[in-house]
C-alpha cells in the first residue's frame, strides 16, 4: 500500500480560502462597510450635535439681548428725563428708580452722577457710601466714565464685585443736555445701573441649563473670547467650542457653549443601528447570499427613516427661525404692548401691559376681532381698515377710541405687519398698541398755550408800538435786526419789514462809524470793526449811551442819543442787544444856535457899541433860547430815564418770550414724535404759566412808565389848563426821575396831605418839581454819602395850598441864597451848570402858576423851598 504523503498546513489554509473566497470577500466587504458606516454615523452624529448646540445658543443669544435691553433701558429713560428737564430732582429720581427696580428685579441699584459725582442712589439702604463718590478718585470706574463720555454712548462693564455681595454688571450712560442751535451739547454727567449678574443670567435662561455648559466673555475684534464674564472658564480652552456674538447696549459679548457631557469624540460609532445592521447583513450574506436583497431593502428603509429625521430637523430649525423673526419684529416696533392675530384676524395673544393701558381683561379679547368690542366709539372708518387687512398690507398709527368701564374715553393707536409661513401663506398679523389719551389731551393744551403766547406777543408789540417818542431796535448776537418798533418807523422813515434781518449800520453815517471804530481800536489796542463798533462797550459794561447821527430813509440826517444794552437770557447766556434812541436834533440845533448867537453878540459889542439897545434885545432873545434849551434838556433827561427804565422790563419780556417759544417748539417736537408724557406736559404748562406772569408784570411796568412819560411830556410841552390831582403829578415826576436817583445813596420821598382836586397847569408844575429835585441832586449833597429829599404839601385855605421841597444837605450861604433865583447864577459854572434852573422855577411859579416861592437855607442845615399856589390857577391868554 502506497504511503500517502503528509499535507502541508499552509496548503490547507490556501485550499480553504480558495473554496470559500466569496465568504471571505463578503466578510471583508462587510467589515469595510461597517467601518465606513460607523465613521459616517459618528461624523453625522457630531454634526447634528453641533447644529443642535448652535440653535440653542442662538436662542439663548436672543434671550440674553432681550434681558440686557430690559435691564439697562432704564438709563435711557433717565437720560431722556434729564435732557428734557435740564436735570432731575432726588424725589423724581427715587420714583423712577423704584419703578425700574420693581419692573426689573435683577437691578440692584441706580445712580445719578451730575458732574461725575454720585449725588443720587436708589435704594439708599446699603449704598450710603456711594453718596458723594467722585468717579475721578477711582481709576477703574473713571476710565469707564471717560470712555462713555468720549463715545457719547453707554458703556457696559462687568463682572464687578458688589459691596452687598455677589457679582454684577454696571452700565454707565453719559447725559448731554441740549444747547442752543449750533452749539455743542453740554455734558451733564452719567446715569448708572447695577444689575445682579446671577439674577441677570437666570432671567436670560442661562443659569442651570439642562443640556449645555455655558460661558459668557467679552468679544475681541477678531470674535475671539476675551475676559470671562460668567460661566466655566474651561470652555474657553476647548478647540471645538460653539459660540455666538451677543450685541448688547454698550458692549459686545461672546456666548460659548458645549454639551454638558462634552462633545462626542469617538471616531467610530459601532453601536449605531446602521452599523449593527450592516454587520448582521454581512454575516448573513456570508452564510446565505440569498438574503442579500432582503437585507438591502431593510437598509434602504432605515436610510429613508434617517432622511425623514433630517427633514423633521430642518422643519424644527425653520420653526425656530420663524420664532426668532417674530421676536425681532416685536422688538423693532418700540411699543407699549404687543398683540397677535391669526389668519381670521382673531386675537391669539395680547401682552400683559395691555390690560393696564386699556383696562380690558385679556380673556375678553382673545378669540375676538378688534372691531367686535362693544366699547368702541363711533366715528372710525373700520371698513377702510378691514380692506387694508384683506390686502395683507402693513399699517401704522391707526387710531380709534373706546369707552372704559368708568365711563372715560380712551384713545388707542395701533401698528401692525402681516406674517406668512415658509410657503408664503398668510398666517395673521403681529403688532403693537399704545395709549395716546395723554397725547390727545396734550394737543388741546398745546393749542391753548400757543394762543396765550400769541396774546402775550401782541401785548408786547402794543407796548413797543406805544413808545412812539423813542426808537427801539433789537438785534441778535450777529447784529441782525429782529425788532423795529413804531417809534423807529416814525423817526427813520423805514417800515419794519424793510430792516428785519439787516444790520443797524445802514442807519449810521459811514464816516462817523469809521471814526468811532478807529477811536475804539486805539483805546483797546486791537482792531474793532463791524457790529462791534456799536456794542463793544455795552457787551463789557452792560450798557452804553452815546450820541450818533442817524440817516433817515429820505437821506435827511438827525442827531440821536442811543442807549445800547446787552440782553441776556434766563440762563445768563447772551441773546442779543437792545437799543433805545431819542431824537436830540432840536436840542443840538438850539445849542448851535446859542453858540452862534453868543459869537454874534461878542462881535457886535466890540464893533458896534452904539447898537447897545439891539444887542440887549438880542441878549434877551438868547436868554429865551437858553430857557427853551433848558426845557428841552430837562425833557431829554426825562426821555433818557424812561429809555433806561424801559430796557429792563422789555429785555426781561423779550428773554421770557424767546424761552417760551423754544420750550413750545420742544413740546411740539415731542408731541409730533408720539413720545409725549404727562409729566412733560405738566412741566411745560407750569413753565408757560410762569412765563406769562413774567410777561404780564414786565409789560405792566413798561406800560406804566410809558403812560407816565406820555402824560408828563404832553403837559410839559404844552400850556394846557385842566383839572388834576397833585399826587398824580408828583408821582409822575418822581417815577421818571427815579432812574437817576436809584444809582445814588440819596433817598427821595413824598408826604402829601392834599387829596382834593386842583385846576391849573400841571405841565409847568411838573417842570418846577423836576427842576427843584434835579437841583437838589446836583448841589445839595456834595461830599455827602447819604441824604434825603422830601416833597410835602398841605392845604392853607380854601383858595391856597403850600407845596414844600426840602433836603437835609449842605445848605447855602446867605450870598448864594439871595442870588439863587438870578438868571445865569450858578455855583457849578464850567461843570455842567447853566444858572437857569431856579430862574425858570421862579418865572413859572410867579407867572404861569400865579403863586409865590421863597427859599430858606443855612450852611450845613439843608434847604427848603416853599411854594404858595392857588388851588384854581389863573387863566392865561390862549390857554
According to DSSP, the β-strands at 800-807 and 863-870 are antiparallel
- Cell output for 46: 457630531
Is 144's pLDDT higher than 50?
Answer: yes
Q: Which residues pair with 748 in a beta bridge?
A: 789
Look at residue 416 in the predicted model and tell me its pLDDT.
Answer: 92
Alpha-carbon dihedral sign for residues 225, 226, 232, 236: positive
261 burial type by CB count under 10 A (0-12 exposed, 13-18 middle, 19+ buried): exposed
∠ at Cα 465 (460, 469), nearest 5°? 130
Q: Report the pLDDT value the prediction gives residue 865, as an integer from 0 to 100.
A: 94
Handedness of CA 821, 824, 829, 830 (dihedral sign): positive
Res. 803 pLDDT band, cuts 50 70 90? very high
**Torsion angles phi and psi, residue 246, rounded to 5:** -110, 120
Beta bridge partners of 171: 156, 193
Residue 325 has pLDDT above 70, yes or no: no
Centre a 10 Å sphere on the Cβ of residue 658 and count the other Cβ atoms it contains: 17
Has residue 854 got a pLDDT over 90? yes
pLDDT in tens, 494-523: 988 888 888 888 888 888 889 888 988 888
C-alpha cell at 111: 445712580
The neighbouring-strand residues paired with 409 are 403
* pLDDT digits 0-9 by tens, 175-209: 988 877 767 888 899 999 988 888 888 888 887 78
- Residues 410, 435: contact at Cβ < 8 Å? yes
Q: Where are the beta strands (DSSP E) in 421-522?
A: 426-435, 470-475, 481-484
The Cα 776–Cα 212 span in angstroms is: 98
Please give the pLDDT value at position 626: 52
Q: Of 675, 677, 697, nearest to 685 (Cα)?
A: 677
Cα 320 → chain centroid? 45
- Cα–Cα distance between 621 and 597 in angstroms, integer? 9
**CA 761, chain centre distance (Å):** 56
The cell numbers describing 32, all together, are: 469595510
Per this entry, what is the length of the chain? 879
User: Kind and range of the H or E element at 807?
Assistant: strand 800-807
pLDDT of 394 higher than 90: yes
Which residues are registered as beta bridge partners of 864? 806, 856
Grid cell digits, residue 334? 418700540
Q: Give pLDDT, residue 486.
A: 84
Residue 96 Cα to chain centre, angstroms? 20
What does the DSSP 8-state code read for residue 5?
A: P
Whether 440 contacts 389, CB under 8 Å: no
According to the 3-state scheme, what is the secondary structure of 507-573? HECHHHHHHHHHHHHHHHCCCCCCCHHHHHHHHHHCEEEEEEEEECCCCCEEEEEEEEEEEECCCCC
Q: Which three cell numbers stand for residue 319?
A: 420653526
- Domains of the chain by range and CATH? 73-257 (3.30.450.350), 335-435 (3.30.450.20), 446-492+536-696 (3.30.450.20), 718-870 (3.30.565.10)
CA neighbours closer than 13 Å in the CB half-sphere of residue 699: 23
* Cell, residue 91: 424725589
pLDDT tens string 217-269: 888 876 788 888 888 877 777 777 788 888 888 888 888 888 877 777 777 76
- Number of C-beta neighbours around residue 288 at 10 A: 11
Beta carbons within 10 angstroms of residue 114's beta carbon: 17
Residue 718 has pLDDT above 70, yes or no: no
pLDDT > 60? residue 400: yes
109 or 631, which is more confident:
109
Question: For the chain, what percent of residues have pLDDT higher than 90?
Answer: 9
> Would you state the cell numbers that stand for residue 709, as one nine-digit string?
412819560
d(CA 691, CA 453): 9
Alpha-carbon dihedral sign for residues 84, 87, 92, 96: positive
Q: Dihedral of the CA atoms 382, 384, 389, 391 (nearest 10)?
A: 160
User: Rounded CA gap, 627 and 483, in Å?
Assistant: 37
Q: Is 221 exposed, middle or buried (0-12, 13-18, 19+ CB in 10 A)?
A: exposed
Task: Report how far residue 96's alpha carbon sits from residue 866's, in angstroms, rounded to the nearest whole number.
Answer: 71
**Cβ-based neighbour number of residue 182 at 10 Å:** 5
Among the listed ranges 143-152, 310-319, 342-351, which one has the minimum average pLDDT value?
310-319
Q: Quick one: DSSP state of residue 845?
A: I
776 pLDDT more than 80:
yes
What does the pLDDT look like over 601-657, one tens digit per residue? 777 767 776 766 665 565 555 555 555 555 555 555 555 555 555 566 666 676 767
146: part of which helix (H) or strand (E)? helix 139-151
Dihedral sign of CA atoms 413, 417, 418, 419 in order: negative
Distance CA 279, CA 287 (A): 12
- What's the mean pLDDT in 6-21? 52
Q: For residue 159, say if its preceding peptide bond is cis, omega within 30 degrees of 0.
A: yes
> Which one is predicted more confidently, 165 or 467?
165
pLDDT for 2? 43
**H helix or E strand, kind and range, residue 760:** strand 758-760
- Quick check: 17 pLDDT over 70? no
Q: Taking a C-beta distance cutoff of 8 angstroms, is the pair 337, 353 a contact?
A: yes
- pLDDT on residue 715: 46
* Residue-level pLDDT at 698: 60
Sheet holding 212-219: strands in order across?
Answer: 225-231, 212-219, 251-259, 242-248
Mean pLDDT of all residues in the chain? 79
CA distance 161 to 168: 7
414 preceded by a cis bond (ω within 30 of 0)? no
3 pLDDT above the threshold of 50: no
Asked if the model's pLDDT at residue 830 lies above 60, the reply is: no
Grid cell, residue 229, equals 464674564
Query: Which pLDDT belongs to residue 190?
Result: 92
H-helix or E-strand spanning residue 275: helix 273-287
Residue with cell 430732582: 89
Which residues, at least 6 apart from 15, have a Cβ–Cβ distance to it below 8 Å? none
What 3-state class would DSSP assign to 865? strand
Nearest to 837 by CA among 761, 786, 778: 778
- Which triple of cell numbers denotes residue 175? 447725559
Q: What is the pLDDT of residue 460?
A: 66
Q: Within 10 A of 415 (CB to CB), how many other CB atoms are there?
A: 16
Cell numbers placing 69: 435691553
Position with higher pLDDT, 613 vs 100? 100
Task: Please report the pLDDT score of residue 648 as a whole number.
Answer: 61
Rounded to whole angstroms, how far apart are CA atoms 857 and 860?
9
Residues in CB range of 408: below 8 A, 6 or more apart: none
Residue 741's CB is within 10 A of a number of other CB atoms, namely 18
Q: Which residue has the cell 462809524?
A: 513
409-419 mean pLDDT: 89
CA distances from 543 to 234, 464, 494, 709 (A): 75, 20, 25, 22
* DSSP category for residue 4: P
Confidence at residue 805, expressed as pLDDT on a 0 to 100 scale: 94
Amino acid at each position: 500500500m502506497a504511503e500517502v504523503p503528509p499535507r502541508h498546513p499552509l496548503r490547507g489554509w490556501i485550499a480553504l480560502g480558495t473554496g470559500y473566497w466569496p465568504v471571505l470577500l463578503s466578510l471583508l466587504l462587510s467589515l469595510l462597510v461597517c467601518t465606513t458606516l460607523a465613521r459616517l454615523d459618528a461624523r453625522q452624529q457630531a454634526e447634528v450635535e453641533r447644529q443642535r448646540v448652535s440653535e440653542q445658543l442662538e436662542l439663548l443669544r436672543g434671550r440674553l439681548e432681550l434681558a440686557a435691553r430690559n435691564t439697562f433701558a432704564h438709563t435711557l429713560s433717565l437720560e431722556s428725563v434729564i435732557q428734557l428737564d435740564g436735570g432731575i430732582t432726588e424725589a423724581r429720581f427715587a420714583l423712577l428708580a423704584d419703578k425700574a427696580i420693581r419692573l426689573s428685579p435683577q437691578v440692584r441699584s441706580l445712580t445719578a452722577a451730575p458732574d461725575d459725582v454720585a449725588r443720587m442712589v436708589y435704594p439708599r439702604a446699603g449704598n450710603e457710601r456711594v453718596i458723594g463718590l467722585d468717579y475721578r478718585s477711582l481709576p477703574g470706574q473713571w476710565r469707564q466714565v471717560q470712555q462713555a463720555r468720549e463715545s457719547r454712548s453707554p458703556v457696559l462693564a462687568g463682572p464687578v464685585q458688589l459691596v452687598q455681595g455677589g457679582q454684577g454688571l454696571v452700565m454707565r450712560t453719559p447725559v448731554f443736555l441740549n444747547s442752543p442751535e449750533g452749539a455743542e451739547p453740554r455734558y451733564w454727567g452719567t446715569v448708572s445701573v447695577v444689575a445682579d449678574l446671577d439674577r441677570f443670567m437666570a432671567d436670560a435662561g442661562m443659569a442651570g441649563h439642562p443640556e449645555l455648559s455655558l460661558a459668557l466673555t467679552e468679544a475681541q475684534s477678531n470674535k475671539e473670547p476675551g475676559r470671562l464674564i460668567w460661566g466655566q472658564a474651561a470652555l474657553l480652552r476647548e478647540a471645538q467650542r460653539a459660540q455666538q456674538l451677543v450685541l448688547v447696549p454698550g458692549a459686545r459679548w461672546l456666548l460659548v457653549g458645549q454639551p454638558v457631557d462634552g462633545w462626542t469624540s469617538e471616531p467610530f460609532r459601532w453601536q449605531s443601528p446602521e452599523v449593527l445592521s450592516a454587520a448582521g447583513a454581512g454575516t448573513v450574506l456570508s452564510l446565505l447570499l440569498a438574503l442579500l436583497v432582503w437585507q438591502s431593502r431593510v437598509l434602504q428603509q432605515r436610510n429613508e427613516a434617517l432622511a425623514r429625521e433630517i427633514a423633521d430637523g430642518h422643519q424644527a430649525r425653520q420653526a425656530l427661525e420663524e420664532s426668532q423673526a417674530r421676536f425681532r419684529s416685536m422688538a423693532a416696533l418700540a411699543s407699549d404692548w404687543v398683540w397677535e392675530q391669526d389668519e381670521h384676524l382673531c386675537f391669539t395673544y395680547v401682552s400683559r401691559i395691555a390690560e393696564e393701558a386699556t383696562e380690558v381683561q385679556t380673556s375678553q379679547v382673545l378669540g375676538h376681532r378688534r372691531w367686535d368690542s362693544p366699547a368702541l366709539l363711533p366715528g372710525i372708518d373700520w371698513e377702510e381698515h378691514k380692506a387694508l387687512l384683506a390686502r395683507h398690507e402693513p399699517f401704522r398709527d391707526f387710531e380709534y377710541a373706546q369707552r372704559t368701564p368708568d365711563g372715560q374715553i380712551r384713545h388707542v393707536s395701533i401698528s401692525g405687519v402681516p406674517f406668512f409661513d415658509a410657503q408664503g401663506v398668510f398666517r395673521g398679523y403681529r403688532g403693537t398698541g399704545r395709549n395716546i389719551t395723554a397725547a390727545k389731551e396734550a394737543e388741546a393744551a398745546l393749542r391753548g398755550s400757543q394762543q396765550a403766547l400769541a396774546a402775550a406777543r401782541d401785548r408786547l408789540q402794543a407796548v413797543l408800538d406805544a413808545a412812539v417818542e423813542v426808537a427801539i431796535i433789537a438785534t441778535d448776537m450777529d447784529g441782525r435786526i429782529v425788532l423795529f418798533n413804531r417809534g423807529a418807523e416814525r423817526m427813520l422813515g423805514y417800515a419794519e419789514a424793510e430792516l428785519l434781518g439787516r444790520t443797524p449800520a445802514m442807519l449810521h453815517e459811514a464816516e462817523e462809524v469809521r471814526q468811532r471804530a478807529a477811536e475804539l481800536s486805539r483805546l483797546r489796542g486791537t482792531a474793532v470793526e463791524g457790529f462791534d463798533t456799536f456794542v463793544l462797550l455795552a457787551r463789557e459794561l452792560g450798557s452804553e449811551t452815546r450820541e450818533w447821527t442817524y440817516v433817515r430813509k429820505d437821506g435827511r440826517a438827525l442827531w440821536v442819543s442811543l442807549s445800547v444794552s446787552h440782553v441776556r437770557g434766563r440762563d445768563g447766556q447772551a441773546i442779543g442787544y437792545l437799543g433805545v434812541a431819542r431824537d436830540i436834533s432840536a436840542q443840538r440845533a438850539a445849542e448851535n444856535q446859542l453858540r452862534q448867537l453868543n459869537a454874534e453878540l461878542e462881535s457886535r459889542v466890540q464893533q458896534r457899541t452904539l447898537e447897545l439897545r439891539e444887542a440887549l434885545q438880542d441878549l434877551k432873545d438868547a436868554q429865551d433860547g437858553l430857557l427853551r434849551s433848558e426845557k428841552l434838556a430837562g425833557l431829554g433827561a426825562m426821555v433818557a430815564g424812561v429809555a433806561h427804565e424801559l430796557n429792563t422790563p422789555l429785555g426781561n419780556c423779550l428773554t421770557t418770550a424767546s424761552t417760551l417759544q423754544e420750550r413750545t417748539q420742544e413740546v411740539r417736537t415731542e408731541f409730533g414724535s408720539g413720545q409725549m408724557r404727562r409729566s412733560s406736559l405738566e412741566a411745560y404748562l407750569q413753565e408757560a404759566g410762569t412765563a406769562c406772569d413774567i410777561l404780564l408784570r414786565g409789560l405792566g411796568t413798561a406800560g406804566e412808565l410809558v403812560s407816565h412819560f406820555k402824560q408828563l411830556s404832553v403837559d410839559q410841552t404844552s400850556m394846557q389848563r385842566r383839572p388834576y390831582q397833585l399826587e398824580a403829578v408828583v408821582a409822575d415826576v418822581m417815577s421818571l426821575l427815579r432812574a437817576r436817583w436809584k444809582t445814588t445813596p440819596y433817598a427821595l420821598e413824598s408826604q402829601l396831605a392834599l387829596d382834593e382836586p386842583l385846576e391849573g397847569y400841571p405841565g409847568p408844575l411838573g417842570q418846577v418839581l423836576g427842576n427843584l429835585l434835579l437841583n437838589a441832586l446836583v448841589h445839595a449833597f456834595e461830599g455827602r454819602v447819604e441824604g434825603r429829599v422830601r416833597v410835602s404839601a398841605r392845604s392853607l385855605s380854601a383858595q391856597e395850598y403850600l407845596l414844600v421841597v426840602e433836603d437835609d444837605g449842605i445848605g447855602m450861604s446867605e450870598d448864594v441864597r439871595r442870588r439863587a433865583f438870578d438868571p445865569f447864577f450858578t455855583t457849578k459854572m464850567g461843570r455842567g451848570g447853566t444858572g437857569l434852573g431856579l430862574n425858570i422855577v421862579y418865572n413859572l411859579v410867579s407867572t404861569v402858576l400865579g403863586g409865590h416861592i421863597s427859599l430858606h437855607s443855612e450852611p450845613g442845615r439843608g434847604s427848603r423851598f416853599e411854594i404858595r399856589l392857588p388851588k384854581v390857577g389863573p387863566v392865561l391868554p390862549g390857554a
